[in-house]
């Protein structure tokens, strides 16, 4: 049986971590070894339950020590394939494996900050190895931005994220007047506009929930308080499928740096009406006015929400189309099989 080693910067609740968990849980054709490098470990129990073995290597020990310990683990378990679940060049790790797959789940945008220039310097150091490895982009949007600012590897693929669709209940008749936005509160999504929306007087009959946590939480809570306090912060929600099963409208206000919004396909699988910004990978997932709605600005967002929560709006055809799209294109079995083909 082949052995795959997965490397993570952390095991927090995030898109690549949940995708990796789903891949591990969806098949038993491989043994899975987990290595994580810092102690942000919201999902540690889930990985312990799903993978064959989990190891911690302290990133603070430096590149040389981390590389040495990593290669010792690879030798111990006779690892055949390595998947790096973060930007491949950021740590300059020496990985002694003929098969290295780099999952790239965030867009490479010129933010002109210190980290952007560090990424360029690290990439220039690491580029020869990247070109000999396999890059997997979670969307065409990520691939396009990455190719614009960095040289891609000689072998590159787009594999959209997937979800275990059977976990999500699609019963539109049990929907409540709930509008939800799910995601990490870390500045990568436009929660500010969602809070503004929640405090519009024309939506007094709706409940607005924010599910997630992150460094931007305190600022957003203060903003909500100033606007009227109508948005309810749920914190980290462990059972997202249950929340979405009750949600009538799921809003995902991505920013250009967002690579692929898992919550979009989770919401589509749950029978929610989905509204997202018309940027990035959202355009690869949603067909506007057919399986969801893509909006250009705040005024259009407000208008679309007002229309979709009106009593005469029939969401049945739209939600069926959305569910069919997820089942045919974004089921985790499809994603897992595409990864397995590369291993």
Read out DSSP for 283-317? HHH--BTTTBEEESSHHHHHHHHHHHTSTT---HH
Supply 10's token pair: 């952390």
Cβ atoms 133, 91 nearer than 8 A: no
Chain segment 19-41, per-residue pLDDT in tens: 898 888 876 778 999 999 998 89
- Residue range 252-265: mean pLDDT, rounded: 90
Supply 295's token pair: 């909006």
Round the average pLDDT of the chain to a whole number and report it: 88
Chain segment 57-83, per-residue pLDDT in tens: 999 998 889 999 999 999 999 999 999
Supply 63's token pair: 């590149």
Q: What percent of the chain has pLDDT over 70?
A: 88
Cα distance between residue 293 and residue 113, in whole Å? 33
Lowest-confidence pick of 113-122, 168-177, 203-212, 277-286: 113-122
- Residue range 233-256: mean pLDDT, rounded: 94
> Exposed, middle or buried by CB within 10 Å (0-12, 13-18, 19+), for 310?
exposed
Chain segment 105-147, per-residue pLDDT in tens: 877 766 566 666 666 666 666 666 666 688 899 999 988 887 7
Supply 78's token pair: 């006779």
Question: Which residues lie across from 331 on neighbouring strands?
Answer: 163
pLDDT at 87 over 80: no
């Amino acid at each position: 049986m082949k052995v795959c080693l997965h490397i993570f910067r952390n095991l927090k609740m995030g898109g690549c971590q949940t995708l990796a968990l789903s891949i591990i849980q969806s098949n038993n054709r491989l043994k899975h070894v987990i290595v994580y490098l810092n102690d942000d470990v919201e999902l540690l129990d889930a990985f312990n339950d799903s993978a064959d073995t989990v190891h911690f290597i302290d990133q603070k020990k430096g590149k040389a020590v981390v590389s040495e310990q990593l290669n010792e683990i690879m030798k111990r378990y006779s690892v055949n394939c390595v998947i790096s679940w973060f930007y491949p060049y950021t740590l300059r790790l020496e990985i002694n494996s003929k098969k290295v797959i780099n999952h790239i789940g965030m867009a490479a945008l010129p933010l002109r900050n210190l980290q952007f220039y560090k990424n360029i310097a690290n990439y220039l150091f690491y580029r020869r190895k990247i070109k000999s490895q396999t890059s997997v982009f979670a969307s065409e949007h990520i691939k396009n931005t990455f190719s614009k600012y960095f040289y891609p590897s000689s072998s590159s693929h787009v594999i959209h994220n997937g979800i275990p669709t059977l976990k999500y209940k699609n019963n539109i008749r049990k929907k409540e007047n709930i509008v939800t936005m799910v995601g990490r509160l870390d500045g990568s999504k436009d929660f500010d506009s969602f809070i503004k929306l929640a405090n519009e007087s024309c939506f007094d009959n709706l409940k607005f929930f924010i599910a997630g946590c992150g460094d931007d939480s305190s600022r957003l809570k203060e903003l909500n308080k100033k606007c009227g306090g109508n948005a309810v912060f749920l914190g980290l929600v462990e059972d997202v499928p249950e929340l979405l099963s009750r949600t009538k409208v799921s809003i995902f206000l991505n920013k250009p740096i967002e690579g692929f919004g898992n919550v979009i396909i989770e919401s589509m699988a749950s029978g929610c009406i989905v509204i997202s910004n018309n940027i990035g990978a959202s355009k690869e997932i949603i067909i506007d006015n057919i399986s969801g709605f893509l909006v250009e600005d705040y005024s259009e967002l407000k208008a679309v929400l007002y229309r979709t929560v009106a009593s005469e709006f029939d969401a049945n055809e739209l939600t069926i189309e959305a569910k069919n799209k997820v089942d045919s294109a974004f089921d985790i079995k499809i994603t897992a099989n595409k990864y397995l083909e590369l291993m």
